[in-house]
Amino acid sequence: MTHRRSRLDRGPTFAAIDFETANNERSSVCALAVVRVHRGRVVRRFSSLVRPPTRTFRFTRIHGIRWEDVCDAPRFPVAWARAARLLKGVDFIAAHNVGFDRSVLMRSCERFGVAPPDLPFECSLKLARRTWDLPNHRLPAVAEHLGIPLNHHHAASDAEACAQIVLRASKLLARA
């Protein structure tokens, strides 16, 4: 019987993503980041502030981003076109608590008439739960456990931490 190796245990090529939103509307992206990993190493990074469709900001207390910070930033279609270049040839997209980031991406693509990526998604939160016995698997807790520097709710830092979690879990899974 042949054993088929999973996407995660062969030195994965993937993109870790993270979005920050201005308010409860999933298409209110105000920051995005993508970290590309090829054969188990981070090879490229992209992050950008994004001008959301409205001036309504409800989550400034979480991520520190205000309308004044993004009023001259590119809108989602421009920022995403740049970010999406890092997805070429990846096996999957990873995010910590992927349901949120996937819904933000899909809703933003829909709102702005942008084709969403046709790639599978992996959840580093679920992967962390399967890999490490921790009392809490939120991004800050997993990053602290693994010694990964984190400026939580900063898209570039969150995407980097997600990429590192997937890499470290992948190495452990490959040995199992």
Q: Average model confidence (pLDDT) for the chain?
A: 93
What's the pLDDT score for residue 17? 98
Closest CA to 18 of 127, 163, 148: 163
DSSP 8-state class, residue 17 = E
pLDDT < 70: residue spans in the chain: 1-10, 176
What's the pLDDT score for residue 12? 80
The Cα 113–Cα 53 span in angstroms is 13
Task: Write the pLDDT tens digit of every residue in 23-66.
Answer: 999 999 999 999 999 988 999 999 999 999 999 999 999 999 99
Q: Provide the β-strand partners of residue 29.
A: 21
What's the pLDDT score for residue 159? 98
- Specify the pTM: 0.92
3-state secondary structure 32-93: EEEEEEECCEEEEEEEEECECCCCCCCCHHHHCCCHHHHCCCCEHHHHHHHHHHHHCCCCEE
The Cα 92–Cα 173 span in angstroms is 17
* 119 sits in which H/E element: none
What's the pLDDT score for residue 10? 54
The Cα 98–Cα 117 span in angstroms is 14
Statement: 14-175 belongs to CATH 3.30.420.10:
yes
What's the pLDDT score for residue 174? 77
Closest CA to 19 of 169, 156, 166: 156
